[in-house]
């Protein structure tokens, strides 16, 4: 006799609970399940690309169908297990005598490279899924694969995509590193997250370059994170002063978010800041050679940029600091 649909439903829900329990056992702070459906933002994403708002990130236009349709990227995918890791860490105050030479680094890049941390855990989760359901297939991703992971995380109930385009969780705020396991197993989806930004515009008001052009819309070409990491050429003169003291990335739109007021700190040792104050002495960065660069940034996400780009940023920050504090 074939199993009833009720029996299958119970088994599917039990499996989903076990998948989530395994993800938490592996150290993920949040986990949810989304259907591997096409993005509802395909038309907007195409327009955003066509308008050039991706800047020099031309790779975003590649594999458009895969990027907006998980089942095209990974044939047979019907479910996506979405995970998130809290990376917030308390920082030590900067001594007054250091402030005139202090260059800030985005919090996500202060610990060990999150790609390595999350991928290892995702692979363990994927192995467990395939062992639990023989014949199933999986594929893992951590922001480098062509999927719309913020949208998937929102569908999975991890958090909503806020006006600053970051995923925001009611309990952990937006200090979240995302990852996903696409699978051929049909799993019951979680309720999508609901938006709690309300009428707040603090992130828009705080962005010095006006990169958040409207709620939920970001022009990458003006974003400090893009300019200091993804953009490898010269930075427009009119944008250089707005970069302020940001050497690598930017957290301003997250720093002002009300949902980040009471976020807990990450407990994972690998995510603790290697630079306790959250930044570096810009004078030192300008003197680094390749060997020093490799030694200082070993297993760091900051190696996303090569030394010449980092020193380009350092020169801009140094000039901004002199204008702020004097020579």
Taking the CA of residue 76 as centre, how many other CA atoms within 13 Å lie in the half-sphere pointing to its CB? 8
Answer yes or no: are the C-beta atoms of 232 and 59 closer than 8 Å: no
The pLDDT, as a whole number, for residue 2 is 37
Residue whose C-alpha is closest to residue 82's, from 213, 174, 183: 183
pLDDT per residue, tens digit, the chain (327 aa), is 334 445 558 889 999 999 999 999 999 999 999 999 999 999 999 999 999 999 999 999 999 999 999 999 999 999 999 999 999 999 999 999 999 999 999 999 999 999 999 999 999 999 999 999 999 999 999 988 899 999 999 999 999 999 999 999 999 999 999 999 999 999 999 999 999 999 999 999 999 999 999 999 999 999 999 999 999 999 999 999 999 999 999 999 999 999 999 889 998 899 999 999 999 999 999 999 999 999 999 999 999 999 999 999 999 999 999 999 887
Residue with tokens 């250089």, as numbered in its chain: 240
- pLDDT by residue (tens digit) across 44-100? 999 999 999 999 999 999 999 999 999 999 999 999 999 999 999 999 999 999 999
Reported as type and span, the H/E element at residue 5 is helix 5-25
Compute how many other C-beta atoms are within 10 angstroms of the C-beta atom of residue 194. Answer: 10
Structure tokens at 140: 């893992």
Query: Can you give the pLDDT at residue 6?
Result: 53
Residue 184 falls in which region: left (phi positive, over 0), alpha (psi -120 to 50) or beta: alpha
143 catalytic residue (yes or no): yes
Residue found under tokens 């998937």: 152
Burial 281-299 (b: 16+ CB within 10 A, else e): ebeebeebeeeebeebbee
Catalytic residue among 143, 195, 268, 281: 143
- The pLDDT score that the predictor gives to residue 9 is 83
* Sequence-ordered list of residues with C-beta below 8 angstroms from that of 21, at least 6 positions apart, any chain: none
For 299, how many CA atoms within 13 A lie in the half-sphere containing its CB?
9
**Residue 24 CB neighbours (<10 A):** 13
E-assigned strand segments in the chain: 30-35, 79-86, 102-105, 138-141, 160-161, 167-168, 176-183, 212-214, 217-218, 246-248, 279-281
Tokens 């020099």 belong to 56
């Amino acid at each position: 006799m074939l199993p009833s649909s009720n029996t299958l439903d119970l088994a599917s829900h039990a499996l989903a609970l076990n998948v989530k329990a395994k993800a938490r056992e592996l150290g993920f702070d949040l986990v949810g399940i989304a259907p591997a459906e096409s993005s509802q933002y395909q038309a907007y994403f195409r327009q955003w690309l066509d308008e050039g708002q991706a800047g020099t990130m031309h790779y975003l236009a590649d594999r458009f169908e895969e990027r907006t349709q998980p089942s095209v990227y990974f044939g047979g995918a019907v479910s996506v297990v979405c995970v998130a890791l809290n990376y917030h860490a308390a920082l030590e105050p900067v001594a007054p005598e250091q402030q005139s030479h202090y260059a800030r680094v985005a919090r996500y890049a202060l610990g060990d490279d999150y790609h390595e941390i999350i991928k290892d855990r995702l692979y363990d989760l994927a192995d467990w899924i395939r062992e639990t359901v023989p014949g199933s297939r999986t594929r893992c991703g951590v922001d480098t694969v062509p999927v719309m992971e913020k949208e998937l995380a929102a569908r999975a109930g991890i958090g909503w995509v806020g006006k600053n385009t970051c995923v925001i969780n009611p309990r952990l705020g937006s200090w979240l590193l995302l990852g996903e396991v696409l699978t051929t197993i049909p799993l019951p989806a979680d309720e999508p997250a609901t938006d709690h930004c309300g009428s707040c515009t603090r992130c828009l008001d705080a962005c010095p370059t006006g990169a958040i052009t409207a709620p939920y819309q970001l022009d990458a070409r003006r974003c400090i994170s893009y300019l200091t990491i993804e953009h490898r050429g010269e930075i427009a003169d009119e944008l250089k002063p707005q970069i302020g003291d940001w050497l690598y990335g930017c957290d301003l739109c997250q720093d002002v978010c009300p949902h980040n007021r009471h976020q807990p700190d990450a407990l994972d040792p690998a995510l603790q800041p290697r630079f306790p104050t959250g930044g570096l002495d810009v004078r030192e960065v300008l003197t680094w050679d390749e060997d020093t660069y490799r030694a200082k940034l070993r297993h760091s996400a900051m190696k996303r940029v090569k030394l010449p780009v980092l020193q380009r940023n350092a020169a801009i920050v140094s000039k901004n600091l002199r204008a702020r504090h004097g020579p």
